[in-house]
Amino acid sequence: MLYLIGQNAEIFLLYISVPGYLGCYGNSKTDWVLNGGHYRSKALTIRACLEFCKREHFKIAGLERGDCYCGNDQDVYDRLGQFDDTECNIVCDGSKDDACGGFNKLSVYNGKKKKKMALPITCGIFK
């Protein structure tokens, strides 16, 4: 995680097309919306999560910070609501180009469809 000091920093959104991106959805630590496979990694990427879920025979992958959650199409990953893509603004530790959800938010992927998403880019003076 990157912390900014000073008042000269600005956040811009870069819109990119991401394979399999379904959107930004709510999650709960006490009631996971994707309750199949799960693993935690300090080097998490979208690809690693999708590959893990596929190996475990799940179709849907969700990333929240360093956690990868898996489920199938019948899972109701939207039951806690869909949110604006800007709320899934935590960059994955394993790739600065990947979005890994947000606080109690999952970046959800299925490995097939493509959708545009917003990736936050921070510019400014860092100390």
Three-state DSSP state, 10: strand
Q: What's the pLDDT at 29?
A: 80
Q: Which domain holds residue 50?
A: 19-123
- Percent over 70 (pLDDT), the chain: 71
Residue range 66-84: average pLDDT? 85
Three-state DSSP state, 26: strand
Query: H-type helices in 1-127, by residue range?
Result: 46-55
Rounded Cα–Cα distance for residues 120 and 36 (Å)? 29
Is residue 40 situated within a structural domain?
A: yes
Q: What's the pLDDT at 31?
A: 78
The tens digit of pLDDT for each residue in 7-56 reads 555 555 555 555 688 899 999 888 788 888 899 999 999 999 999 999 99
Residue range 60-85: average pLDDT? 87
Is residue 4 situated within a structural domain?
A: no
Is residue 51 situated within a structural domain?
A: yes
pLDDT band at 114 (very low <50, low <70, confident <90, very high): low
Is residue 44 situated within a structural domain?
A: yes
